[in-house]
Amino acid sequence: MNYAQNPQMLKAFALKPMLIILATSFANHALAQEPNTAIDLPSVAVTGNPLGVSSDELVVPVSVLSGRELSLRREGTLGETLNGIPGVTATQFGPNASRPVIRGLDGERVRIMQNGVGILDASSLSFDHAVGIDPLIIEQIDVVRGPAALLYGGSAMGGVVNAIDHRIPKEQLNGVTGRAEARFGGPDNTRNGAAVIDVGNGKFAIHADAYTRETSDLDIKGFAVSSRKNRADPTAIRENRGKLANSASDGDGGALGASLTFDNGYIGASFSTLNNNYGVVAEEDVTIDMKSDRWDFATEFTDLGPIINRVKFRMAHTDYEHSELEGSEVGTTFTNRGLEGSFEAGHAKLGNLSGVVGYQFSNTNFEATGEEAFVPSVNTQNHALYLYEELAINEHKITFGGRLGHSQVDSKDSAEPRFGIGQKNSFNPNSFALGGLYKLNGNWSVTSNLSHNERAPSYFELYANGSHVATGQYEVGNANFDKERSNGIDAQLRWKDAKNSFSLGAYYTRFSNFIGLFNTGVDIEVEPGEFLPEAQFTAVPATFKGLEAEGKFYLTDNLDLTVRGDYVHAKDKRNNDYLPRISPLRLGAGLQYRLDSFSARLDVLRAFKQNNTADNELDTDGYTNVTAMLAYKLPTKVNLELFAKANNLLNDEIREHASFLKDISPAGQRALLIGARADF
């Protein structure tokens, strides 16, 4: 490969020595230490509550992945890493672009954040656009399900995913800590590695990390095109047997951060960069070359006084760009540059009342240039005041959250006739939530949330007007949209006894004007003799309801049982039709065995057939995904663990109904992945 002709690959080549240096420093330090069996990492407040309470004291339903569990669960994308958590599926546009779907809601209704600040990319615009976060460097992921997550963004009707790293050190550190990880194999022949190191003298802390990943075309069972699609559309040729063409990827990234740390707080900054070059499986000659640079600044101080006892400020500037290459030619370029931040102050307890008040802001500029630009250039500004209060009543609690927002979404003048003169739209979305936790006894508790949410339409829902090749449609927005409004309720019954726990939840959300993309039945001529079906963003009444369950039971000192399940039922109430790409009923269970340094795990996830489909949407067959893992901690001075993970042991043909490409892009076939992880 000629690196001189490809600056992106040249940077990747330069990052790999950095990864080696970090890993070598890590190993040299670790091998000099005494044997160690436990690593004490800084605790991180769970996203679902700004007051920092433990996860089992939260009113909203939250799932937290961290430490070893996250490390062994990591996949190539954020969506696939989280897929299978109760209520969470993934868009799965091939193995390289997958965004989380929460309770049947995706796109703008699922807010993805990094360290409490929204990421700035183009992943919500199109399913083939990857999320601008690589799971390799994430230390903790919080998933908040449901609209009670309104404190973290006015669009978070489905929920929030907050990916947390330690790129800005927040705790006093005297010495060196770090981790390293490498893995090889799997259905995409993964070759990746990551190293993280933190150094501090008690007052000043420095963080550095680097990672690299490379995959080949995905090995699949049978043909890429499903038999259902082939029967419905004989022109969909069944080829590419055993391989998903154009699904390889190559990426890398890294970060440097530093903080001044004090007994009651910190102040710090970091710079991170991400590069990702991957194939678009819907178009065999198209690749996406993505780059994102991000500056973060954060500070927090506690124990300040009798009135305001805590302040927190977070801000990030992102410069995101990706080019869609047709062969070696640039077809379309997307850029998204902007600033987002928040300031939050917590007041001292007023009796049993604790709370915070905050201000959140963002200013972003999106541009698309080239032959497949279906959205004009847009400036979006958001401002919001929010409040969260929690009243303790003995062992019970009542919570209240409110958010008052203002959004300005302005398109710019365009030489393209279909976009024409720029348009201005402003909205005042306001959202509220009231919740409570009631302890029935020492083991049982009930939680519930009532919420009213309003969301400003996104720039593409307002101004789209063009061919969207990734979805195979001509998409048309509506600049006259009003705010999207919904009312919802969710409740959980929870049980906990020592280390054993179980929860069963139900929810119901009713939208008065759900903004969705619906086919009109009209074909648009985009080129002489070439037509695409028209799809318009339309506001319709809709309902989402479902069930979620999760439990963990310690059967013996060595054996654990986990169970989980979820179900979503979503309908367009205009004509009582089902909404598209809604995940079917899923049930799962897992057994984990531990003996000294050895552990083994077996997980089974059964996804049932989905035949509750929208117009022009095909059914999806059920599947059973069986995975197994073996791990062994070596008797060395460093905490070093070797592991092997087998995916899809039954070699089922797995097609996720939530995926736009479910009928042309299945998941990988049965495969084995091996790896090693270490920390100190």
Which contiguous run of DSSP H or E holds residue 589?
strand 586-595
Question: Cα(516)–Cα(457) distance, rounded to whole angstroms?
Answer: 11
Which contiguous run of DSSP H or E holds residue 387?
strand 378-393
**What does the pLDDT read at residue 19?**
46
- Per the structure, the complete domain to which residue 44 belongs is given by 3-679
> What string of DSSP letters covers 12-67?
HHHHHHHHHHHHHHHHHHHHTSPP-S---PPP---TT-TT---GGG-SS-EEEEEH
Are the beta carbons of 244 and 281 closer than 8 angstroms? Answer: yes
Question: Tokens standing for 79?
Answer: 């969506």
Question: Tokens standing for 676?
Answer: 């090693």
Question: Tokens standing for 93?
Answer: 């546009």
Closest CA to 297 of 316, 276, 278, 275: 316
**What does the pLDDT read at residue 380?**
96
**What does the pLDDT read at residue 666?**
92
Question: Cα(595)–Cα(246) distance, rounded to whole angstroms?
Answer: 43
**What does the pLDDT read at residue 7?**
42
**What does the pLDDT read at residue 41?**
43
Are the beta carbons of 670 and 646 closer than 8 angstroms? Answer: yes
**What does the pLDDT read at residue 26?**
43
Are the beta carbons of 616 and 184 closer than 8 angstroms? Answer: no
Closest CA to 456 of 483, 425, 485: 483
Secondary structure of 390-455 in the HEC alphabet? EEEECCEEEEEEEEEEEEEEEECCCCCCCCCCCCEEEECCEEEEEEEEEECCCCEEEEEEEEEEEE
Closest CA to 451 of 383, 402, 404, 390: 402
Beta bridge partners of residue 505, listed in sequence order: 492, 548
**What does the pLDDT read at residue 35?**
38
Q: What are phi and psi of 25, to 5 degrees?
A: -60, -40
Total domains present in the chain? 1
3-state DSSP assignment of residue 136: helix
3-state DSSP assignment of residue 606: strand
Phi-psi category of residue 420: left, alpha or beta, with phi > 0 → left and psi -120 to 50 → alpha: left
Q: Please tell me what DSSP assigns to residue 95.
A: S
Question: Tokens standing for 176?
Answer: 């060196």
Nearest 5°: CA angle at 514, between 378 and 117?
50
Find the largest Cα–Cα distance for the chain.
Answer: 73
Secondary structure of 196-222 in the HEC alphabet? EEEEEECCEEEEEEEEEEEECCEECCC
Half-sphere exposure of 417 (CA within 13 A, CB side): 0
Alpha helices in 107-239 (DSSP H): 227-232
Neighbours of 361 (CB within 10 A): 14
Type of residue at 190: T
Q: What are phi and psi of 6, to 5 degrees?
A: -135, 90
Question: Tokens standing for 641?
Answer: 């663990």
Question: Cα(285)–Cα(262) distance, rounded to whole angstroms?
Answer: 53
**What does the pLDDT read at residue 271?**
97
3-state DSSP assignment of residue 9: helix
Are the beta carbons of 659 and 53 closer than 8 angstroms? Answer: no
Closest CA to 504 of 438, 554, 551: 551
Q: What is the pTM of this model?
A: 0.90
Mean pLDDT by 10 residues, the chain (680 residues): 40 44 43 39 60 71 86 88 92 90 91 91 87 91 78 81 92 92 94 95 96 95 88 75 92 96 95 95 89 96 91 96 87 93 93 93 93 90 94 92 94 87 94 93 94 93 89 90 94 94 95 92 84 91 96 94 96 92 95 94 96 90 96 88 95 93 92 93
Are the beta carbons of 72 and 590 closer than 8 angstroms? Answer: no
Phi-psi category of residue 295: left, alpha or beta, with phi > 0 → left and psi -120 to 50 → alpha: beta
**What does the pLDDT read at residue 2?**
39
Query: Which residue has 């703008």 as its token pair?
Result: 108
Neighbours of 10 (CB within 10 A): 14
3-state DSSP assignment of residue 5: helix
**What does the pLDDT read at residue 149?**
64
CATH code at 339? 2.40.170.20
Question: Cα(272)–Cα(284) distance, rounded to whole angstroms?
Answer: 31
Closest CA to 355 of 363, 365, 346: 346
**What does the pLDDT read at residue 54?**
63
**What does the pLDDT read at residue 45?**
60
**What does the pLDDT read at residue 228?**
87
Question: Cα(659)–Cα(445) distance, rounded to whole angstroms?
Answer: 36
3-state DSSP assignment of residue 226: coil
Neighbours of 442 (CB within 10 A): 9
**What does the pLDDT read at residue 371?**
78
